[in-house]
Amino acid sequence: MKKFFVLLLLVLPAVLLTVNTGSSPFAFAAEDELDEELVDVETEDAAIVADETEPEDEPETTKSPDADTYLLFTRPLHASGSQLELPAGYPVEFLVGFTNKALSDDFVVESVEASFRYAMDFSYFIQNFSAVPYNRQVKPGHEATVSYSFLPTESFAGRPFGLNIALNYRDGRGNQFSEAVFNETVQITEVDEGLDGETFFLYVFLAAIVILLLVLGQQFLGSYGKRKRPTAARKVVETGTSSTKDVDYEWIPQQTLKKIQNSPKGGAPKSSPKQSPRQRKAKAGQ
């Protein structure tokens, strides 16, 4: 009976599944194949949509032949020929210089702007920083320097990005120019601050736990040692006879007793020694 009951429990779920799904337990396989086909169709549609939506082209960089620009990073310092590393969460500062080489035309330095681009394709913008307006007029043969700073977010740490720094200016005839003074891939690094507040309090908490365990262990060992320590037996010290009345002087010769009594330092008994029974009988007979 028990075997039949166990067999019924094993067969009943399979029968219920077959009834609920229709006619055959292999209906799930057909449904999975249908889902795969739908996924393939969706993938093709997504590919078609992606092909139709092409990214916009980056505006071309223009530069005036009568102007020279240069860039100098002041924070952090950057050596030419090496990749620039920017610390995440810390401000980045740099100077942009402009030189007017024209003979008669003036230039106006309008603004400086910066942006992070996708490292594999600089046409995709990751983050735009605010454009700082200057509107500084530069006469022929003169130079001008402007400063700019931005703050890379900490979420970009450990990733490369394209950094684009553009200087916008115009000449005396109203022609607009936008020159990329810096357009390279930079590395956003994570700054190791050493011991922060959270780590410090964690170490303090662990030290307190260790000290507490040591104190508890010392108390336990001290109480356990007191329980197991054997009690020392008291030593019996022989003090001798404290009273001279209990001392039997019968065995001491009479001459010795007389010397002890006559001696000033001798502890002779003041009372006469005890008499033996024979002496008492002899004395009584007299």
Please confirm whether the linkage preceding 277 is cis (ω < 30° from 0): no
Asked whether 144 and 112 are in contact (CB, 8 A), the reply is: no
* pLDDT given for residue 180 in this prediction: 93
* pLDDT given for residue 53 in this prediction: 38
* pLDDT given for residue 232 in this prediction: 59
CB neighbourhood size of 181 (10 A):
19
Domains of the chain (ranges; CATH) run 67-190 (2.60.40.10)
DSSP 160-184: EEEEEEEEEEEETT--EEEEEEEEE
* pTM, 2 dp: 0.50
Element (DSSP H or E) covering residue 12? helix 2-21
* pLDDT given for residue 216 in this prediction: 87
Asked whether 128 and 107 are in contact (CB, 8 A), the reply is: no
Taking only the tens of pLDDT, the chain with its 286 residues reads 545 555 555 555 655 555 454 444 444 443 344 344 433 433 334 333 334 434 444 445 689 999 999 999 999 988 878 889 999 999 999 999 999 999 888 999 999 999 999 999 989 999 999 999 999 999 999 999 999 999 999 899 989 999 999 999 999 889 999 999 999 999 999 887 666 677 878 888 899 999 989 988 888 888 876 666 666 566 666 665 555 666 666 777 777 777 777 776 555 455 555 555 566 555 555 5
* pLDDT given for residue 12 in this prediction: 59
Query: For residues 159 and 118, what is the distance between their CA atoms, to the nearest angstrom?
Result: 10
Query: For residues 198 and 57, what is the distance between their CA atoms, to the nearest angstrom?
Result: 47
Phi, psi for residue 50 in degrees, rounded to 5 = -65, -35
Half-sphere exposure of 160 (CA within 13 A, CB side): 9
Which amino acid, one-letter code, is at 7? L
* pLDDT given for residue 231 in this prediction: 61
* pLDDT given for residue 277 in this prediction: 59
Strands (E), the chain: 67-75, 85-87, 92-100, 107-118, 121-128, 132-138, 143-150, 159-171, 176-189
CB neighbourhood size of 76 (10 A):
15
Burial class (CB in 10 A: 0-12, 13-18, 19+), 176: exposed
